[in-house]
Amino acid sequence: MIVLKAAQEKVLSALQAVSGIVERRHTLPILANVLIRKTGGQIELTTSDLEIQVRTTVELGGDDANFATTVGSRKMIDILRALPADQVVSLSAAQNKLTLQGGKSRFTLQTLPADDFPLVQEAADFGPMFSVPQKVLKGLINQVHFAMAVHDIRYYLNGILFVAEGTSLTLVATDGHRLALAQATLDTEIPKQEVILPRKTVLELQRLLSDDKAGDNAIEMRFAGNQAKFSFSGMEFVTKLVEGKFPDYNRVIPKNHRNSVVLGRTALLASLQRAAILTSDKFKGVRVNIEPGVLRIASSNAEQEEAKEELEIDYGGDTIEIGFNVTYLMDALSNMSVDMVKLELQDTNSSVLITIPEQTGFKYVVMPMRI
């Protein structure tokens, strides 16, 4: 039977949408597969890693009969990528195998039974549904995702705190050395929620959400005790939540720093990138010296090589010399799209607060390091 028959780019786009969560290494061979379930003219593609499940429904031609199987998703994607974009491809099924055909190319792939595919058990008691524009959520994720921890033993740091209350939506990420907070005000009131989304879920949402005109379309969200469900652009995304208590982020954000300077983001980022060249791979420290009229950045390494940068600034506060992990500063600046940033400092031993002038919803805190 003909499972589907459509343009290569349409089939590839649908497969790529669901295949981001498929791990290259897996305990169950079937987790490398995509579940293809055909009901009449509609095809449902589903992938899972036992904690996250992504599903999309598309119309891709083919016969009207019902059919279900699973096949290796990466192999399918690699084959489709290698075929011309404007070519019509077909997928036909016979005797536990699928045949993918495009032009004079033909590929026969092994399948595993659809009944063996481990679907995520969805919670029975999802709370009320609420929605926000896709581009709003994607914008918030873009502003904080880089501050998430990676494989931290404090598992609640390996993700993003999602706080919804009234008309405010706040996302917070920290790895213990820095903290990023982004906040948006919504047009409608949303029910109170406070959950931790896993790192993998955050990165997948960042990849799939739209920030162009389609980003005005909403993403619908529902939360259960240990699960979240997102629906957007023909996709359904179910994920396990991280259990645990996220740190009190309000205590970490400095208040009343007496010194502040506003300067160009691009110039500061370029100076830091140049200074970073002569830091060592293990020790990414730079010295930042700020005094009236000038900001200096210096770095050195074990070979006694040195880099020095200087920026003219409009500043009349205290003279402060402070050390930072240069990567932490560059991460924040390179994920912004504004012209000017504001640095608020207290002394050598206090964290710096980076904000955006005229934009109260973003705060980024970096702890100093001894150099």
Write out pLDDT tens, residues 266-305.
Answer: 999 999 999 999 998 888 999 999 999 999 999 999 898 9
pLDDT of residue 65: 84
Q: pTM score, two decimals?
A: 0.91
Sheet harboring 235-240: ordered strands across?
2-7, 88-94, 97-102, 105-112, 67-72, 33-39, 42-48, 52-59, 235-240, 227-232, 218-223, 130-133
Q: How far apart are CA 148 and CA 129, in angstroms?
A: 27
Nearest to 21 by CA among 32, 29, 30: 32
Nearest to 357 by CA among 307, 305, 314, 312: 314
pLDDT of residue 173: 97
Nearest to 117 by CA among 54, 200, 39, 28: 28
Between vectors from CA 18 to CA 42 and to CA 207, what angle results, nearest 5°?
130
Which residue type is seen at 177? H
Report residue 70 CA to chain centroid gap: 27
Nearest to 182 by CA among 132, 269, 249: 249
Q: Are strands 235-240 and 52-59 parallel, antiparallel or unpaired?
A: antiparallel
Would you say the C-alpha torsion 262, 263, 265, 268 has a positive or negative sign? negative
- From first to last of the 371 residues of the chain, give the pLDDT tens digit: 888 888 899 999 999 999 999 987 778 899 999 999 999 888 999 999 999 999 999 988 878 888 999 999 999 999 999 998 889 999 999 888 999 999 999 999 999 999 999 999 998 889 889 899 999 999 999 999 999 999 889 999 999 999 999 999 999 999 999 999 999 998 888 889 999 999 999 999 999 998 777 657 899 999 998 999 999 999 999 999 999 999 999 999 999 899 999 999 999 999 999 999 999 888 899 999 999 999 999 999 989 899 999 999 999 999 999 999 999 999 999 999 899 999 999 999 999 999 999 888 999 999 999 87
**What letters, b where the CB count within 10 A reaches 16 and e where it falls short, cover 243-255?**
eeebeebeebeee
Between vectors from CA 209 to CA 24 and to CA 140, what angle results, nearest 5°?
110
* CB contact at 8 A, 328 and 353: no
pLDDT of residue 215: 52
pLDDT of residue 270: 97
pLDDT of residue 214: 60
